[in-house]
Amino acid sequence: MMKQKEVRVGIIGCGGIAFGKHMPSLAKLDHVKMTAFSNPTREKAVKAAEKFGTEGAKVYTDYRELLKDDSIDVVHVCTPNRTHAEITIAALESGKHVMCEKPMAMTAEEAGKMVETAGKTGKKLSVSYQSRYRADSRYLKQAVENGELGEDLFCKGSCHPQTCRSHLGCISQ
C-alpha cells in the first residue's frame, strides 16, 4: 500500500466542535499533522496545541496570521457561524484547502461567494454536512418533497447519541 502524503492542518476556532469532533478525528489519521491553532482566546488555542498539535505547533489569536503560514495545506473553520464565509474566503485566497463546519454561511449569497472563490483559486472547499444521508434526514427530506407536512416554515432534526432515536419537528401552516 502506498504511503499517503503528509497533510498539515491549521485549526481556526478551538471551541467545542473542534475539541469534540474535528481534532480527535484528525488525530486518528497518521498522515495528518495539526501544526497551527487559532482562537481569539489564546488559552484555548494553547490547550488545543498541547493536546493535539505536533511538536512546535504554532498558536495564534488572529486567524489571518495563521493563514500566512505557507506550510499549512488545509484549515478547518470551526468558528461561530457568522464568521464562516469571511474566514473561508480568506483561507481559500491564501492558498489553503478548507473544511468548513456547518452551516456553510449565513446567506445564499455568502455561500455562492465561497464556492466562487474555491473555483477561482483551484482549492477544495468541503462543508461538514455529515448528516444529510442519515436515514432520518432522508426520511424528512422525502416527506417535505411529497408535501406530507404541508407548507413548511421551519424544520429541525436532531439525534440523541445515547439512543440514536431521531426527533423531527416541523412548524407547518
Q: Which three cell numbers stand for residue 152?
A: 413548511
Could you tell me which residue, 36 or 172, shows the higher pLDDT? 36
Domains of the chain: which residue ranges? 7-127, 135-172
Over pLDDT 90: what percentage of the chain?
Answer: 69
Q: What residues are paired with 37 via a beta bridge?
A: 11, 59
Section 29-42 average pLDDT: 97
Q: How far is CA 69 from CA 44, 58, 110, 133, in A?
A: 20, 10, 25, 35
* CATH class of the structural domain 7-127: alpha beta
What is the number of other CB atoms lying within 10 angstroms of the CB of residue 165?
9
What confidence tens digit (pLDDT) does each residue in 61-72 have? 999 999 999 999
Average pLDDT, the chain: 88
At residue 58's C-alpha, the angle toward residues 54 and 61, to 5°, is: 140
SS3 content of the chain, % helix, strand, coil (to 5): 40, 25, 35
Could you tell me which residue, 151 or 152, shows the higher pLDDT? 151
What pTM was estimated for this model as a whole? 0.78
Residue 164 has pLDDT above 50, yes or no: no
